Structures are given as structure tokens and as C-alpha cells.
Amino acid sequence: MIDAYYELTDPDDPRGEKFAASDHVISTWGAAMQNAAPVSALLVRALERCTPRDDTRISRVVVDLLGPVPVTDQLWVRPRVERPGTRIELIGAEMVAPGPGGQPRPVAKATAWRFQGANTDNLPPTPADPLRPVGEGIRRHPDDGTDRTYIQSLDWRWLNDILNSVVAECWARPLVDLVAGEPLTPTQRLFTVADIANGMGSRLEPAEWTFLNTDLAVHMHRLPEGEWIGVQSENHYGQDGVGVSRGTLFDESGSVAVIQQAQLVRRRPPPDVSSRGALP
């Protein structure tokens, strides 16, 4: 298996750049579907390459997952300019993959506001407190003997019990490339990690509940620096199966972005006990 989430197999395919996904993208919710983090990072890669300009940067990205993204060697990604402009532009990207009948269909999309830069050095700094240092985190070894999934593709440093804390905090960094042979940009690195906010601080037992996010919206007030991305996240649940995960993303100098995700919360069906004791 390659040491990357994806391999670029055909940059000139008429449908868009064509990629093959590795096992590093596999979701914990199912072996046939991708985790949202690699998907969103690959869409961000396309956004950054969409008519790039040195005097601009992405400010906000919204990723919508249109259904389970399959783990396949047939993924196409194509960007577009939605609303051109000098100071403000809206750009988009779409991921296409084979559907149940084999015909390609959109499986994820992203839009981003891209702003022209200006000198604002004298503005007040962010009021958000920084996360505790990476060195205070407890290392969680990715190679724990479980099946290979996206979770094992990260180097983790837990600052508290990220599964059961009301406000969960950790540091993480990818152990693999986004695309084989390509260095990560700061924004791509942020998105290889950002989606873990959805599972942090859930306080729900995954054997009893599912809490799948259908989107992620990230607003970046500055670009991250360094290898580590910090995540501080909390979850809010209604009584009708709808939840929201929200959090702050950090580098080692302080906060860089805020994230929010919609959740579909469902209780897992009880195990089928009708066959217990039955002869094979």
C-alpha cells in the first residue's frame, strides 16, 4: 500500500484528475466508505489549484458529503470558478465516483471563498486561548493491531479523554501524504485532520450509536504553521436525531480556524438474537 491517501493516476482525464484511494482513507463506520478528512483535503487541493493567484488565499471552505464516498481507484476531482472577482472569489470543486450501477456520479463537493490579501498586522490577536503544548499530550499508537483505517494514518497526542470529555482536546498530524509524492500545503494539512472534530467529545458509545457528519465548514483566520494540528471540540445533541459538532483548530502558536459539522445521530439496532444457539 502506498504511503498516501491517494495516488494520481491520470491528470488529463476528461472528467477531471483521476485518483486511486488507498486503505488509509477507510472510515471507521464501514470498510467500503471513505473518512471525510481525506476527501475534504483532496477537494481543498483542487480548490487551491483553481486559477491560483499569489495575492489571495482561501478563507472559508464548506464540504458537503452527498453520500458514502467509495474506496475505489476511480475517483475524479474537478474545480471551477463559481463567482470570479478581484478581491473576493467563490470557487468550487466536485468529486465523482462510480455509483451503485457503475455510472459515475457526484459524491462530494466543496465551495470556498478566496480573498485578496491586505496588510492587517496591527489588528488585535485572536482572543482564543492556545491549546496545551504537544509535549503534554499522551501518544496513542496508530499501529494497534486493528484493521487499517484512516484512524491509523494519524500520529495522535491526546490532551484529555477525547471520547468522553465534554470539551475534547488533542493534537494530530498525518503520517502519510495526501497525494503520493506531493508535499502538503498548510491548508491541505489542516483538512487531513479537521474532520476528527466530529468524533471528539461525543460521549456516545460507538457500539450503540452512530453520529455521521454530512458536512464540514471551516473558517480560517490564518494559515497553520508546522506539522501539528490541534483540535478542541464539543458536541450538541437535539432530541430528534440531529446533532452539531463545533470546535477550534490550532497550530502550535495558537488558533487558526473554527469548524462546525452537522450530525445525523442514530441508535444502532439491537443485535439479532434469533439465531443464537442455532445449528450452523
Q: What is the pLDDT of residue 272?
A: 64
Query: Taken in order 198, 57, 75, 147, is the CA torsion positive or negative?
Result: negative
Q: What is the pLDDT of residue 205?
A: 87
Residue 112: is it exposed, middle or buried by C-beta count within 10 angstroms (0-12/13-18/19+)? buried
Q: State how far the Cα of 134 lies from the Cα of 159, in Å rounded to an integer.
A: 8
Residues 168, 157 contacting (CB under 8 angstroms)? no
Residues 215, 194 contacting (CB under 8 angstroms)? no
Q: Please state the pTM of the whole predicted model.
A: 0.93
Query: Taken in order 257, 254, 211, 203, is the CA torsion positive or negative?
Result: negative
For 234-274, write each residue's pLDDT tens digit. Answer: 999 999 999 999 999 999 999 999 999 999 999 998 876 45
**Segment 239-247 long-range contacts (CB within 8 Å, at least 24 positions apart):** 241/265, 241/266, 243/211, 245/197, 245/198, 245/200, 245/201, 245/202, 245/213, 246/197, 247/197, 247/200
For 186-244, write each residue's pLDDT tens digit. Answer: 999 999 999 999 989 888 888 899 899 999 999 999 999 999 999 999 999 999 999 99
Distance separating the N- and C-terminal Cα atoms of the chain: 36
Q: Cell triple for residue 141?
A: 499508537
Q: What angle do CA 74, 80, 85 make, to 5 degrees?
A: 160
For 41-94, write each residue's pLDDT tens digit. Answer: 999 999 999 999 999 999 999 999 999 999 999 999 999 999 999 999 999 999
Q: Cell triple for residue 219?
A: 473558517
Does 280 have pLDDT greater than 80?
Answer: no
